[in-house]
Amino acid sequence: MASPQALSEADRRLVALWAADCAERVLPLFEAEASGDDRARDGVERARAFGRGELGTADEIRRRFVAGRAARSVKAPAAVAAARAAGQASGVAHMGAHALGAAAYAAKAAALAAPDQEAGRRDEVRWQLAHLTTDVRAALSSLPALGEDASGPLGSGLLASGVLATTIREIQADLSRPPSSA
């Protein structure tokens, strides 16, 4: 049986575009320290290409770890988090829940680069929520709450503690609210 964190291929393609947008916003933090390392940017671009239907699921599943490995080539915590955001975005082809990981790591990177870390994180989360389409919101809403299912990234691993967990819980709380009318 497939994990409830996987999402359908159609939903993974939708959320991959949002995850790529989230990761791309903090990519300059990584590139400032590792200008010659294109793995993180390539991961974001592959997530976006997957979202557009230009890349197949099987090939992207095989390549999903490449972007995240770029985190080992930098020292600054914000740069590490930015590379991990790209890695999570590239993992969406495998499992849709990685989109929330991309958003959480992007918010962490933004926080680490901001003079007021909590304000920086909150601003990033506000941007992320404002850029959810109705379809992406619906797809992400179908994911289990953080910590409720151990069969994927929303289980008890790295995303389940600290600022990453705080961010995912805030996003999931927003997703559970009815959309506000304009």
> Residue 182: what pLDDT?
45
What is the pTM for the complete model shown? 0.95
pLDDT-based confidence at residue 1 (cuts at 50, 70, 90): low
Over residues 104-130, the mean pLDDT reads 98
Task: Quote the CA–CA distance of 116 and 50 in Å, as a whole number.
Answer: 35
Residue 7: its pLDDT value, please? 95
Please state the three-class secondary structure of 113-166 as a single string: HCCCHHHHHHHHHHHHHHCCCHHHHHHHHCCCCCCCCCCCCCCCCHHHCHHHHH
Structure confidence by residue, pLDDT tens digits, 72-100: 999 999 999 999 999 999 999 999 999 99
Instruction: Look at residue 78 in the predicted model and tell me its pLDDT.
Output: 98
Q: What is the Cα–Cα distance from 3 to 143, expressed in whole angstroms?
A: 10
